[in-house]
Amino acid sequence: MSVTVRVPAKVNVQLAVGAARADGFHDLANVFLAVGLYDEVTVTPADELRVTCEGPDAAEVPLDRTNLAARAALALAERYGIDPAVHLHIAKDIPVAGGMAGGSADGAGALLACDALWGTRASRDELLGICAELGSDVPFSLVGGAALGTGRGERLTPLETGGTFHWVFAMAPRGLSTPAVFREFDRLGEGLDIPEPVASRELLDALAKGDPDALAAAVSNDLQPAALSLFPELADTLAAGRAAGALATLVSGSGPTTAHLARDADAATEIAEALAASGTCKHVRVAAGPAPGATVVAPQR
């Protein structure tokens, strides 16, 4: 018996960041959109807990107990008094350390897969609670679609979307560490008055209408200056996306993947070709959102 769960990547169409809190985290108004780039996590009974990974970036994925998939299995097993002896295999298509919640996807995927394999039948709220303990973006990976994340991003309100948005993602030749980008945000903001993060009404309306022009006018990412400060070459990728006709270009989450919004699927293909030819990124992917959250695709006997 094995269970496979498919989990989407995300782009943050708004990431408003407040001042650092006493616990070091930052309050956010984080508007997540799940997009159709997926990791698949397969769980199979084994002699002991182990993690393997395949995919172009597999060498960069830690296979020890720091891996969010392993941590998710351990958290559920501990709660239900189960021996966490499983093999977790990750088929990785989401960029590693890319700002697209690849690690979070594997955490949410492993949790749902283990719940199905072990028959624990944890409630949705319980699963979301475990996700929030694993990381700020993990609850959204479980839920998918579009949602506003508040607190450190883990408290979710689902959002309406009135259509499909077409994106081109440009992957960078190296990753960026999320804590390092938040530290740079703090350094750049030293001595400044940082306002409370609030979701943009225009942005939520644009999502609800499915209007790419209105969305393009409203997207924002407060972590972008920090990501550009640590990785200045990203400015060239953003400029190449704009020159190729993207309606909006921005760093995805803490980066370094850049997201380029297209008017439709054909425009996305054209922008992808131009970005690939620009020599400003490692590779390019086209994906549309909203995409469904973590989903069991193949329980097999």
Residues that bind ligand C5P (CB under 6 A): 24-26, 28, 135-137, 152-153, 178-179, 182
Nearer to ligand C5P, 20 or 296 (CB): 20
* Residue 191 marked in a binding site: no
Exposure string for 101-120, b = 16+ CB within 10 A, e = fewer: bbbbbbbbbbbbbbbbbbeb
Q: Which of 225, 226, 223, 203 is nearest to 215 (CA)?
A: 203
> Is 137 labeled as catalytic in the residue annotation?
yes
**Between β-strands 283-289 and 165-171, what pairing exists: parallel, antiparallel or unpaired?**
antiparallel
Phi/psi of residue 69, nearest 5 degrees: -65, -45
The CB density around residue 272, as the number of other CB atoms within 10 Å, is 22
Based on CB atoms, which residue is closest to ligand C5P, 24 or 245? 24
Closer residue to ligand C5P in complex, CB, 14/249:
14
User: Is 92 an annotated catalytic residue?
Assistant: no
Query: Does the annotation place 104 within a ligand binding site?
Result: yes
Shortest spacing between CB 261 and ligand C5P, in angstroms: 24
Nearest approach in angstroms of CB 182 to ligand C5P is 4
Annotate 274-291 with three-state secondary structure: HHHHHCCCCEEEEEEECC
- For 206, phi and psi rounded to 5 degrees? -65, -40
Residue from 27, 93, 137, 222 carrying the catalytic annotation: 137
Question: Of the residues 10, 27, 92, 222, which is catalytic?
Answer: 10
Q: How far is the CB of 154 from ligand C5P (least distance, A)?
A: 8
Cα–chain center distance at 48: 29
Closest approach of Cβ 72 to ligand C5P, in Å? 13
For residues 9 and 101, what is the distance between their CA atoms, to the nearest angstrom?
Answer: 6
Separation CA 108–CA 293 (nearest Å) = 9
**Rounded CA separation 215/287 (Å):** 16
Of 128 and 268, nearer to ligand C5P (C-beta) is: 128
Active-site residue numbers?
10, 137
Residue list, annotated binding site for ATP: 95-105
